[in-house]
Amino acid sequence: MDHSSNIIRGVEAKKTRNIASQDDRVRCLTLNFLSYKMLIPNASVAEVTEPGNIQPLLGAPEWFGGMIRWREQDVPVVIFEKIMNINASKPQKYRRVLILNSPNNKGCSPFIALGCQSIPSLNLIDETRVTTSDKKNELVAYVKLDGENYIIPKISFLEDRVSEVMAD
Please write the tens of the pLDDT for every residue from 10-26: 443 443 344 445 467 89
Which has the closest alpha carbon to 97: 61, 59, 50?
Answer: 50
* Structural element, H or E, at residue 154: none
Please write the tens of the pLDDT for every residue from 96-147: 899 999 877 666 678 999 988 888 999 999 888 989 888 888 889 999 999 8
Question: Beta 25-32 vs 121-126: how paired, if at all?
Answer: antiparallel
Determine if residue 18 is left, alpha or beta; phi over 0 gives left, psi from -120 to 50 gives alpha, anything else beta: alpha
Structural domains present in the chain: 3-167 (2.40.50.180)
DSSP category for residue 15? B
Q: What angle do CA 130, 118, 120 make, to 5 degrees?
A: 50
Kindly report which listed range (3-7, 56-60, 107-111, 154-158) carries the lowest average pLDDT score. Answer: 3-7
Strand partners, 85: none
